Amino acid sequence: MNEAMPAAAPVLSLRKLSVDARTPEGRKTVLQDVSFELAGGETLCIAGESGSGKSVTSLSIMGLLPKASLRVASGSIMLGERDLLTLSDRAMRSVRGGDIAMVFQEPMTSLNPVMSVGNQLTEAIRAHQGSENAEAVALKMLDAVQITDPAGRLKQYPHELSGGMRQRVMIAMALSCQPKVLIADEPTTALDVTVQAQILKLMRELKREFGASIILITHDMGVVAEMADRVVIMQNGRIVEQGTALAIFQRPKEAYTQQLLAAVPRLGALAGTDRPPRITQRAVETLHPDRTPVLNVRDLTVTYGNAASRFFKGKPPVAAVDGVSFDILPGETLGLVGESGSGKSTTGKAVLGLIPFKGNVLIDGRNIAGLSQREMRPVRRSAQMIFQDPYASLDPRM
């Protein structure tokens, strides 16, 4: 009988990592005794609810903890034979992007809005590989992440790309210097399900091509099931369970892990007794016997581009929304579903008079077509919007 081959040394290992936060009440532990290993070519998923410590763990690995509020209290982070916690800021700059790269959750706030995609890619490549052939490498990486017209995208700015394209640019930038470890922090949270599937498939293909080990941070157990070789479950800054993906999904030991798995939406689950109570037909008729819609949309059309705009000069107008009509009755929820670019958000903005439109939009019986911003103010007491990205909606200075 042959002797078993010794296990390969892990690419990355954390040992009893603890992180403290500075609060008005004093020091508070936000990460306690976190330990795990990442093997070569492996995808390790770190899962848990918001506030469980997933992102703090990744920022600790990258040496990006905000020094004013968070500090590593104890433990080690070993990249091969090097303890990253002992490296200087200058030494860590060569590690970031070169040995370990990160794809952040929101690409729009990660990419520089005043730099073209090509300049941002080549800047990262030159920092770690030198200036020779930086443009060619950038073009090759955009092609590798399957962006259409990669040469044209190099000249564009982040706001000119869709969310899925921006995320592909971030992945291209992260992999451009062929890191040993790729950390992806909720890389598909803000994407439509079809684009999410494309990004996850892309990450699997790129892992095979470039041989990187991946740490995937997510709260979505569906993503974990699709991507993970091994899983780490975190709660309140601690690891509560870890193991192979098969063991976690088939034989979860901890109650918290079981709760996470039970919370995964299942098609048709709301059709039974678990469905939350709704306003009944009789209740609606009692409150609104005439069944008057609270929102009435007829032939809504939104067109982008005109001859007077320098951004669209020489290009034909594009109908982002074309002849859309629907009603919403009192107490009713209407789901507006479609891929990126299908016109969902444009419809929502038009309904609230935030962008020019043609057609008729009646809110509580009042047609808002042609109303001035001043005339719209009382209407907005009856109709409000929650935007997709709270970071871009809230004022960071207030």
List pLDDT tens digits, range 235-292: 999 999 999 999 999 999 999 999 988 887 665 555 554 544 454 555 545 555 567 8
The SS3 assignment for 218 reads strand
Per the prediction, the chain carries an average pLDDT of: 84
User: Where in the chain are the domains?
Assistant: 12-262, 281-393
Contacts by 242-251, CB closer than 8 A, 24 or more apart: 242/36, 245/45, 248/224, 249/225
| CA 219 from centroid of its chain's CA atoms | 11
Q: Which residues contact 211 (CB under 8 A, 6 or more apart)?
A: 40, 41
pLDDT tens digits along 351-398: 999 999 999 999 998 999 989 989 999 998 889 998 877 777 888 889
Q: Does residue 147 contact residue 169 with C-beta atoms inside 8 Å?
A: yes
CATH superfamily of 281-393: P-loop containing nucleotide triphosphate hydrolases (3.40.50.300)
What pLDDT, in 10s, does the model give residues 217-239?
988 888 898 899 999 999 999 99
The yes-or-no verdict on residue 4 having pLDDT over 60 is no
* Domains 12-262 and 281-393 fall in the same CATH topology: yes
Q: Which residue has the higher pLDDT, 144 or 282?
A: 144
Measured CA distances, 393 to 343, 349, 386, 388, 389 (Å): 20, 14, 9, 8, 6
Q: At residue 180, what is the residue type?
A: K
Per-residue b or e along 243-265, where b marks 16 or more CB atoms closer than 10 Å to that residue's CB: bebeebbeebeeebbeebbeeee
* Residue 52, CA distances (Å) to 187, 272, 338 in order: 17, 31, 31
Query: Which CATH architecture describes the domain 12-262?
Result: 3-Layer(aba) Sandwich (3.40)
Backbone phi, psi, residue 131, to 5°: -85, -15
